[in-house]
Structure 1
Amino acid sequence: DHIEEDTLLVFRSTIYPGTTNIVCDRLEDAGHEVGEDVYVTFAPERIAQHKAFEEVVGLPQLIGAPDDESYERTADVFETFLEADCLRLNPTEAELGKLFTNMYRYLTFAAANEFYLIADSFATHHDVNIHKILDKTGQDYPRFDVPDPGANVGGPCLTKDGWFLVDNIPYNELVSTAYQINEGMPAQIIGRMADKAPEPEKVTVLGMTFKGNSDDTRNSVSFKMEKQLRMKGYGQPVEIEPNVEGFDDWDDVAGSDWVVLMTPHDEFADFETVREHVDNEDCLYCDIWGLWEEAKHESDNGYFFGYELADERAAAEEVAR
C-alpha cells in the first residue's frame, strides 16, 4: 500500500534466499511492473561493527537485481558515496552471497575452536599449547591463516545465518556442527576448570557482549556460560562488562576462585590489573583467546593459576637483579 510509482525498494538486512523475488511477485500481483514503474533490489550491508563509516564507502557493494533498470537506479544511489565497485548478481545470488560471507567467518571460527579442543585433548599429558601451534605453524607460511580460538563466538548475525542456508538441504552437517562447537565452548571450559580447581566458591566472567570493545550483548555466548555455571551449582557468577551499564563492579571480583575471559575487551588486556582486582594468587584463570601475553605461550593451553605467573615474575625479577 505504501509503494508509489517510481519507487526504488532496496533491501539491506540479511534475508532468507528467495525473499526479494517473492516481494517482486507480490508487487506484480498488486498491479505494479517491476523494472517499469517500481524497482527492487537486494543490496546487503557488508560492514563489520565499529567499521561502518570506513567500510560502507570502501567495500564493493553487491546489488542483486531482477532487471537492468533496478540495478542502474540502485547503483546510482550507491555511487554518490561509494569509492569501490558495484557488483551485479541476481537477487537470490546476492542473498546467498551475504549469507555465505557470514557463515564463512563462523565456520572459520569453529575450525579454530575445534583445533583448540583437539589440542586440549593432548594438553594434559603432552604439554601442548594451541597458541604456540598456531603462531609457529602459520609464521611466514601462506596456507595456514587460522584465527585465534575464542570462548565467545556468537552475535546476532553469525549465530542465525547458517540456518537460512541449510533449511532445505540434506547435507547440513558442516553448519550445524560449527554451531555446536561454538555454542559448546562454555561446557568445555567449565569441565576443564573443574578438573584443575574443583568446587569454586566464586566465579567471575569477564565480558558479556558478543565481541571485543562492543556494547552489543545480543546472542552472546557469555550468557550461556552464566547459565551453565548456575546449573552446575557454582552460584551466580560476577559479571564484568565495562561497555554496558547494569553489570557488576570491579570491587565484586575480589577473592574469585575462577576467572573466565569470555570477551577480549581492551579493558581486560592488562593482566596485572585484573590480577590486582582478584587479589587471590590461587585463582584459576582461563584465557583461550590468548589476550594475556604473560600466559599466552606459557599457560596450560589457556588455563593457569595466579601463583604460577607470580612465581615466574619473581624469578624474572631475581634474574634482573
Structure 2
Amino acid sequence: MTKSLNIAVIGLGFIGLPLSLSYARKGANVVGIDVSEPLIRDINQGISHHLEYFEGKSLADILKDQLAAGRFKATTSYEEAASQVNNYIITVGIPVKNGDPEMRYLTAACESLVGVLKKGDTVILRSTVIPGSTEDLVKPLLEKSGLKAGEDFYLAYASERIAEGRAFEEFINMPLAMGGINEESAKRAHEVLTFVTEAEVTISDIKVVETSKVIENVQRDVNIAMVQQFARFAEKAGIDTFELIRVANTHKRVNLLTPGPGVGGYCLPNALYYLLPKAKEIGVNLDLLETARQINDSVPRILVNMVGEKLSEAGKTLAGSKVAVLGLAMKDFSNDDRISPPHHLVQLLEEAGAHVAAYDPAVPARYPYKVDSLGDAVSGADALIYVTVQEEFLEIDWDEVLGKMNQNPVLVDGKNRIPRSISEKAVLIRI
C-alpha cells in the first residue's frame, strides 16, 4: 500500500528541492514554496542545475518524473500550499554578512506561514540556526496566528546533515537528530521525517539538536584548519602533504581531512557564526574555533603568495601575468559556488594585478573573469591554480595544457590531481 502525506517544503535551494523530491518519490503529495518567481518557473518546467543523481537519474530527470506524476509542484503562494497540506518543513538559508547571521529570510518565511497556519498543522525547522532559534524566534512568530504551539499546531527541529551530491541517498540513510517542543510535537514530526528517513532517529532536546548541528560543521572546519597548518609545515620540510595525511590516516582513530583552497559552501564557513551570538550571550570564549576559521579564510592569500613567489623566481611578476583558475564551485563535483574560496582567490589575484581566466563547466553563474572552455583559461597563461575538481577535469591532457601556456609556467595543484611528471616541464606546487 502506497503511503500518503501532504507536505510543503519552504525554500527550494540545494537542500529544499531534493528534499521535496525525496518525499514525492516515496508517494507524498508535495508543494514546494519559494519567493523566487524565476526559480519557481524553472522548477515547474523541469529545469534544474543541481548536480544530484540517484539510482541512475539526475535531479532534473527525477523532477520531471514527479511533476508528470502530479506528486510535486512549486509555487510562491503559501495560500495555495496551505489548501493542500498540513505539514511544513522549513529549509530556508541563514546567510552570514560580516560575521552576523541574517535571520530575515527565516523570519519572513514564518511571517508568511502565520497567515495560513491551521489547527493540527505540523511545522519542522531544518535550517541550520543559532541555537535557541526554534523556541525563541520561530515559536513566538508562529503563535501570532493565535494558535498555541504544542496544542493547536506542532513544532519541531530536525538537523539537516546531507552532503551536496549525495542528497537523495543521505536523506534516506543518514542518521537523523530531532526534537519537539513537547512530546506530541516530537511524535508527529517523527512520523513526517521517517516517511523518507530509514536510518536511526535520535530524539533529544531541541537546543541540543540545534547546537549539535552547528558543532558537526565546526568540527570539520577545525579539522581542515589543522591540516592546512600541517600542509604549510610539510611544504617547508620537503614532505608530500597528501602522502603525509594518507599515512597518518592508516591509524584507526585518526581521520584527517585533506587541505585545499579553503573552506567553502553554505555550511562550514557559516557554522561558527551561528554559534558565536549564543556564546557571547552566555559569556563563553571560543578562541580556538575562531582561530580555525581565520586559518581557513587565509588560504587563498597563501596560494596567491605562492604563485607570486614562483613567478618572481622565473623572472615574471604576478601583476600583468595571466592566471588560469580551474574550478569555481565550493567543493568538488558541485555547481554550488556560494561562499566559495576560488572567488576569494580570484579577487586577490586581480587585486595583485593579475589577469584571471577562471573555468568551471558545472557552475552556471556568469562572472567577468569566467571563461567558456579550458582552452580559453590556459591559453597564454603564466600560472594555473587547480582548486575544484569537475568531471571534465578528470580527462585533462596536461602536456596539451602546458603547450598552450607561456614558457616557464607555474602550476599549483590544490587537489592532488596533476601528474608529478609535470614537474620536469613546469614549476609544480602541490598544497
TM-score normalized by the length of structure 1:
0.85
In structure 2, the partner of 1:185 is 299
Partner deviation per Cα, 1:232-272 (whole Å, 9 max, x = no partner): 122x311011112443122221121110011122322345x
Compared CA separation, residues 211 and 4, structure 1 to 2 (3 A): same
In structure 2, the partner of 1:112 is 227
In structure 2, the partner of 1:42 is 157
In structure 2, the partner of 1:264 is 389
Partner deviation per Cα, 1:104-157 (whole Å, 9 max, x = no partner): 12221111112112223x24xxx2221232223333x21332121111421111
Q: Which secondary structure state, in structure 1, belongs to the residue aligned with residue 388 of structure 2? A: coil
Of 242, 256, 271, 1:131 maps to 242
Q: Whose RCO is larger (CA < 8 A, sep 6+)?
A: 1
In structure 2, the partner of 1:144 is 254
Q: CA deviation at 1:221?
A: 0.7
Q: Which secondary structure state, in structure 1, belongs to the residue aligned with residue 177 of structure 2? A: strand
Residue type of the alignment partner of 1:237: V
Compared CA separation, residues 308 and 221, structure 1 to 2 (3 A): closer
In structure 1, the partner of 2:275 is 165
Higher strand share: 2
Compared CA separation, residues 173 and 306, structure 1 to 2 (3 A): farther
Q: Which secondary structure state, in structure 2, belongs to the residue aligned with residue 184 of structure 1? A: helix
* 1:203 pairs with 2:323: yes
In structure 2, the partner of 1:80 is 195
* 1:240 pairs with 2:359: yes
Of 345, 368, 374, 1:250 maps to 374
- Whether contact under 8 Å (1:206, 1:263) holds in the other structure is yes
Larger mean Cα displacement after TM superposition, 189-198 or 5-14: 189-198
Whole-angstrom distance in 1 between the partners of 2:267 and 2:243: 31
Whole-angstrom distance in 2 between the partners of 1:136 and 1:220: 29
Cα RMSD, aligned residues only? 2.2
- Whether contact under 8 Å (2:117, 2:145) holds in the other structure is no
Whole-angstrom distance in 1 between the partners of 2:200 and 2:270: 28
In structure 1, the partner of 2:122 is 8
Whole-angstrom distance in 2 between the partners of 1:41 and 1:87: 13
Compared CA separation, residues 30 and 115, structure 1 to 2 (3 A): same
Q: Which secondary structure state, in structure 2, belongs to the residue aligned with residue 269 of structure 1? A: helix
- Whether contact under 8 Å (2:156, 2:181) holds in the other structure is yes
Compared CA separation, residues 83 and 239, structure 1 to 2 (3 A): same
Compared CA separation, residues 150 and 307, structure 1 to 2 (3 A): closer
Partner deviation per Cα, 1:76-126 (whole Å, 9 max, x = no partner): 112223211221112111111111111112221111112112223x24xxx
Whole-angstrom distance in 1 between the partners of 2:411 and 2:155: 53
* 1:98 pairs with 2:208: no
Compared CA separation, residues 238 and 308, structure 1 to 2 (3 A): closer
In structure 1, the partner of 2:334 is 214
Partner deviation per Cα, 1:25-49 (whole Å, 9 max, x = no partner): 4455654332221110011221110
Q: CA deviation at 1:291?
A: 2.3
- Whether contact under 8 Å (1:42, 1:95) holds in the other structure is yes
In structure 2, the partner of 1:315 is none
Residue type of the alignment partner of 2:263: V
Compared CA separation, residues 33 and 204, structure 1 to 2 (3 A): same
In structure 1, the partner of 2:416 is 290
Residue type of the alignment partner of 1:135: R
Partner deviation per Cα, 1:155-200 (whole Å, 9 max, x = no partner): 1111112111122244222222122111111111121222222214
Residue type of the alignment partner of 1:259: L
- Whether contact under 8 Å (2:178, 2:209) holds in the other structure is yes
Q: CA deviation at 1:308?
A: 6.6
Q: Which secondary structure state, in structure 2, belongs to the residue aligned with residue 237 of structure 1? A: strand
Compared CA separation, residues 173 and 308, structure 1 to 2 (3 A): closer
In structure 2, the partner of 1:277 is 401
Q: CA deviation at 1:275?
A: 4.0
- Whether contact under 8 Å (1:282, 1:305) holds in the other structure is no
Compared CA separation, residues 224 and 90, structure 1 to 2 (3 A): same
Of 277, 281, 289, 1:175 maps to 289
Q: Which secondary structure state, in structure 2, belongs to the residue aligned with residue 197 of structure 1? A: helix
In structure 2, the partner of 1:319 is none
Count residues with an aligned counterpart: 295
In structure 1, the partner of 2:351 is 231
Whole-angstrom distance in 2 between the partners of 1:53 and 1:91: 25
